[in-house]
Amino acid sequence: MTENLIVANFKMKLASKSEIETWIRNFEKASKNFSSSKTKVILGVPNVFLNLFKDLNKRKEFSMGAQNCFWKDQGAYTGETSPKMLKSIGVEYVILGHSERRKYFNEKNQEIAKKVEKVLKNRMTPIVCVGENQEERRKDLSMQVILKQLKEILENVGRGNIEKTILCYEPIWAISSNNPDDLPNSNEIMSARLLIKKFLVGKYGKLTAERVKIIYGGSVDSFNVKEICLDSGMEGALIGSASTKPYDFMKIIEKFEISE
């Protein structure tokens, strides 16, 4: 059974075919001896480069992921990529509700909710990001913000589907590109984790809640992964910057792999 979910979020950091090919070459070397029955690595890469990951995708430890999608399967929607399209080329996971989507594309919980439902309908796994920004943290509103996001995004997600959904606690202020002064410690992350679990227990019951995976995102690297992800009881990580460096990324995966 999969215990750890490590999700790479390349964003638009590697921006050409040759950069991606170099990453793949190095990652293949770095992961040469990696074989696991408990760790799943999801490669959230730009859609235009997904086909370059076909070979990695054949290994059972790796799966292709997208960083976003639209909430319709087909039709006159210029420039969009649909869940159905992603599914048809072998994508299994879709990151949804990332704070950069909220910030630059004005995505709201209701829209994210529609995307989550469509991704589930297409038998893929949504990775739903929730978390507070710096201002909300300063005003001590973090818990309220997270609960509102969960409530609105998961409004129509039933018991059967929540088990197929991954939730990611990602405090926006802790994302590396926001230049955080500090990072949440394992106790703070554990509190957010407990809050999310409590919400799940309330909405879906204890048994179902136990089956939902919760991961952490925000400046994870091979040095801090033990304290911020493992000590806080998280079941995986969403990794931006460090995932674009193949050897560093592999080190993070190994830290999860050797954890109890």
Residues annotated catalytic, as ranges: 98, 170
Find the length of the chain. Answer: 260
Residue 131 makes contact with ligand PGA by CB under 6 A: no
Among 220, 229, 250, 252, the residue binding ligand PGA under the rule CB under 6 A is: 220
Q: How many chain residues touch ligand PGA (CB under 6 A)?
A: 14
Among the residue ranges 16-24, 132-140, 152-160, 216-224, the one whose residues contact ligand PGA (CB under 6 A): 216-224
Which residue is at the shortest CB distance from ligand PGA? 240
Give the CA dihedral 27, 36, 64, 72, nearest 10 degrees: -160
Residue 175 makes contact with ligand PGA by CB under 6 A: yes
CB of 8 to ligand PGA, least distance (A): 9
For 6, 100, 210, 219, the CA distances from 171, given in Å and listed in that order, are 17, 12, 22, 10
CB of 238 to ligand PGA, least distance (A): 5
CB of 100 to ligand PGA, least distance (A): 7
Residue 256, number of CB atoms within 10 A of its CB = 24
Residue 240 makes contact with ligand PGA by CB under 6 A: yes
Among 47, 161, 176, 208, the residue binding ligand PGA under the rule CB under 6 A is: 176
Nearest to 41 by CA among 212, 249, 219: 249
Among 5, 8, 94, 238, the residue binding ligand PGA under the rule CB under 6 A is: 238
CB of 165 to ligand PGA, least distance (A): 17
For 9, 86, 95, 255, the CA distances from 241, given in Å and listed in that order, are 8, 24, 16, 17
Helices (H) and strands (E) in the chain, counts: 12, 8
CB of 217 to ligand PGA, least distance (A): 4
> Which residue is associated with the tokens 């999310």?
196
Residue 219 makes contact with ligand PGA by CB under 6 A: yes
For 26, 134, 169, 223, the CA distances from 18, given in Å and listed in that order, are 12, 36, 32, 29
> Which residue is associated with the tokens 């509700």?
97
Share in percent of the chain as helix, strand, coil (round to 5): 50, 15, 35
Chain positions 28 to 87 lying near ligand PGA, rule: CB under 6 A, are: none
Nearer of residues 118 and 245 to ligand PGA, judged by Cβ: 245
Look up residue 184 and give its two tokens.
């949440």
Nearer of residues 102 and 209 to ligand PGA, judged by Cβ: 102
232/229 Cα distance (integer angstroms): 5
1/40 Cα distance (integer angstroms): 10
CB of 142 to ligand PGA, least distance (A): 17
Amino acid at position 230, single letter: L
Residue 171 makes contact with ligand PGA by CB under 6 A: no
Residue 9 makes contact with ligand PGA by CB under 6 A: yes
Q: Which residues bind ligand PGA (CB under 6 A)?
A: 9, 170, 175-177, 217-220, 238-242
